[in-house]
Amino acid sequence: MKIALFDTKNYDIPAFQKAGREKNVDFRFFEAKLGPDTAELARGFDGVCVFVNDTVDSRVIGMLAEMGVKLVALRCAGYNNVDVRAAYGRVHVVHVPAYSPHAVAEHAFALLLTSIRRIHKAYNRTRDFNFSLSGLTGFELYGKTVGVIGTGRIGRAFIEIAKGFGMRVLAYDKFPAEDADFSYVDLETIFRESDVISLHCPLTGETRHMIGRETLGLLKKGVVIVNTSRGALVDAEALLEGIKSRVIGAACLDVYEEESDIFFEDVSGHIMEDDVLARLLSMPNVIVTSHQAFLTGEALSAIAETTAENIVEFFRDGFSKNELCYRCGKIESCRALREGKCF
């Protein structure tokens, strides 16, 4: 199987070369992101392997199908960048449903602790031989309420860590887990009672801007928003408004609504065109990492192995257990999201 891997970064290559050798998959690496202008690179390949900021819309899917490309293998869990309805009957789409939920959950906590104990400020100060503590007063997590939205693999790993800190956990999920050892509440209760809100649900039509202008009036003053899921769960302009009005006490962002042309790239020599991002980055209480939560050695190996297995399984058996469900057209509510495929 010959697979064109788009949006390749140097940290992807060793793990994919190893998995390719072990599973007999011939990965070829392209730096370009997949999109209408670059899809032609996939000609002659059996499949493409894409990441979170590649474009797999109906136009690209049409081009891939016309070239005889049979498989789109996502090397990530989320698939909001794929028009899955357009894919049905034209190309098959597989993803990596779980690689290391701990990688993302631990990063969410790393951001949270950095923010509330002002580690980012202290780090810069002490490197400059400034040992003053002025302005570094933080707060403790013990006894505080954390609202977790989305209690899938990552949300639950996050909850386990939160419990270790002695936090009161409130959770919301559209499909609550039956074996939960924490309390589910409605979204409004999460917004009203949480000192920290951490987002772990997928980006769908329903969850887009779930933290938005209307939400600001419901939030507990000083709440810390942690988003390691998908940028557009948070309306970035509303977030900025919430920070300026002091309703939101801090924001820890690993993802950003308009990240696709910025994150993963070094744009340090360029003028930042995105005024909202520039303003957010200027805030002392906003920490941004560049969609890095997944980036551990353990997760990279697991992603490459599962992607190669998905590819082998699909070309051998004609299907993969990690194929997305797109037949029923109910992407957001399909039981496939929890149990597998509905077809």
Q: Does 92 bind ligand NAD (CB under 6 A)?
A: no
Q: Does 96 bind ligand NAD (CB under 6 A)?
A: no
CA-nearest of 94, 171, 180, 174 to 338 is 174
Q: Does 336 bind ligand NAD (CB under 6 A)?
A: no
- Ordered alpha helix ranges (H), the chain: 13-23, 58-66, 84-87, 101-116, 119-127, 153-164, 187-193, 213-216, 236-244, 275-281, 297-317, 336-339
Q: Does 182 bind ligand NAD (CB under 6 A)?
A: no
Rounded to a whole number of angstroms, the minimum distance from the CB of residue 206 to ligand NAD is: 5
Binding segment toward ligand NAD, per CB under 6 A, in 40-48, 82-90, 115-123, 149-157: 149-157
> Which one-letter amino acid corresponds to residue 283?
M
> Which one-letter amino acid corresponds to residue 236?
A
Cβ proximity of 97 and 74 under 8 Å: no
Looking at beta carbons only, is 205 or 269 nearer to ligand NAD? 205
Cβ proximity of 72 and 64 under 8 Å: yes
Rounded to a whole number of angstroms, the minimum distance from the CB of residue 277 to ligand NAD is: 17
Q: Does 225 bind ligand NAD (CB under 6 A)?
A: no
Q: Does 47 bind ligand NAD (CB under 6 A)?
A: no
Rounded to a whole number of angstroms, the minimum distance from the CB of residue 157 to ligand NAD is: 8
Q: What are the two backbone dihedrals, phi and then psi, of residue 72, each rounded to the nearest 5 degrees? A: -110, 115
Q: What are the two backbone dihedrals, phi and then psi, of residue 276, each rounded to the nearest 5 degrees? A: -70, -45
| CA atoms lying within 13 Å on the CB side of residue 122 | 12
Binding mask 226-265 for ligand NAD (x = CB under 6 A): --xxx-----------------------xx----------
Which stretches of the chain bind ligand NAD, using CB under 6 A?
77-78, 98, 101, 104, 149-155, 172-175, 200-202, 204, 206-207, 228-230, 254-255, 291, 293-294
